[in-house]
Amino acid sequence: MLFFLVTGISFIFFIKSLFLKPLLPPWASGGMRLPRFCLWKELSFRISTAITRSLSSGFIKFPMALAMEQSAPSSKHAKVHEKDELSVLDLPELALECILERLSPTGLCNMAGVCSSLRERCTSDYFWERHMKQKWGGIIGPTAYSEWQWFIATRKNLGSSEGFKWQGWIKFICTAWPFSFLGTKLDNPDKHKTDLPVDSIMSWYLALETGRFWFPAQVFNRENGHVGFMLSCYDAELSYDPQTNTFQARYPPHGRRAMAIESGVQWERIRAPPVDTYPYLLHASDCLSDLHPGDHIEIQWRRNKEFPYGWWYGVVGHLDSCDGNRQYCSCHSNDMVVLEFKQYKAGSRWRRATVSRKEHREEGNEGDGFYGGIRKLYNPDEISRWKKLWPADALE
């Protein structure tokens, strides 16, 4: 009895506080009234904010349901209470949508395990697109998306025996915490409709989150910042480790060397490939005529022609015949472009390189390596990211 009294009084004060709050600012009060829709939208937003936390940890239980559990009534009275028990599905569509939009991926998965109606809502692309962008948008690009589309397309076309393996793969990612509810449903296919849409955003999110899907990206300062790769960025295949919140990277083989594998790669060392160029192919440079001293660039470089290209950071420098005075500098109109890599000490053979502005292809030799395509950096965020990786001491 005391429980009902406290619950009822709390609910009355909660509702009262909603309607006592001014819905319009003082300057707009002169006879103006909000439409009923706006009033209900405000109420829905306040309610959804209040109960979203409960939904994130599991299916919410309303006061009437709690009273049933605590009082343990007889079967005769239980039937009466069951009719009064509330469900999330009893909420208006607008309020339910506001709640689901504020759920975390774990909360959406918990809600999807409640019933078929909520499963249909919680697995829709509408709710998962925001989570995909927030967590993976910075390192997942068009190349990774194309790889995922190819991945699911090939498995859809496999025969019955391989199809069984595909279902096993889906079950694997669904039984990984915190998505274990899907694995339980997959064990009882006759009782529930359980097939997770493999081409949905939720399916892709789960594949990335569990580390089952290796996606293409690029890693700064590969192999734990090895001195031979400082201020470079190399293509790799990455797999996420949810236990450590880091990645494992597999780099393409260098000539006869075996594939290099690096563990513990942090988020800040990963980016989506800025251009869709295969690591063994020359990038088509389209910025050569627009290069001026002081411009920031990335250039492909590889040790020999059996190696894949990596992208290396540098700046456009002045010709030897120029004193660097901007008022008289004409380096931008010369057929040759000087590139400087200031992470190396003055006098180092890696400090400067010269390439042709009009006929630039791959240039270099087996001793100094081969320089490939160039891309000019216009985005200040890209430039800032390179500078944050600057070595503490100049390299030899």
Digits of tens for pLDDT over the chain (396 positions)? 434 433 444 444 444 444 444 444 443 344 444 444 444 445 445 555 544 554 444 444 433 333 334 444 445 444 444 555 677 788 888 888 888 999 999 999 888 888 888 888 888 999 999 999 999 999 999 999 999 998 888 777 764 444 444 455 455 445 454 554 444 444 444 444 445 667 889 999 999 999 999 999 999 999 887 788 899 999 999 999 999 999 999 998 877 777 889 999 999 999 999 999 999 999 999 999 999 999 999 999 999 988 999 999 999 999 999 988 888 899 999 999 999 999 999 999 999 999 999 888 899 998 889 999 999 999 999 999 999 999 988 888
Which tokens go with 95?
């309020």
**Alpha carbons 121 and 253: distance in angstroms, whole number:** 44
Q: Extract long-range pairs of 383-389: CB within 8 Å, 24+ residues apart.
A: 383/296, 385/220, 385/271, 386/231, 386/296, 386/313, 389/220, 389/221, 389/230, 389/231
Q: What is the pLDDT of residue 9?
A: 42
**Alpha-carbon dihedral sign for residues 29, 33, 37, 43:** positive
Q: What is the pLDDT of residue 196?
A: 65
Who's near 78: CB < 8 A, 6+ residues apart? 68
Which tokens go with 77?
């009275």
**Alpha carbons 132 and 140: distance in angstroms, whole number:** 9
Going through the chain in order, the beta strands assigned E by DSSP cover 215-220, 232-241, 246-251, 260-265, 270-271, 296-302, 310-316, 336-340, 352-356, 363-365, 369-376
Looking at residue 290, the DSSP 8-state letter turns out to be G
Cβ 371 vs Cβ 363: under 8 Å? yes
One-letter amino acid identity for 337?
Answer: V
**Alpha carbons 152 and 156: distance in angstroms, whole number:** 6
Q: Three-state DSSP class for 311?
A: strand
Model pTM score: 0.72
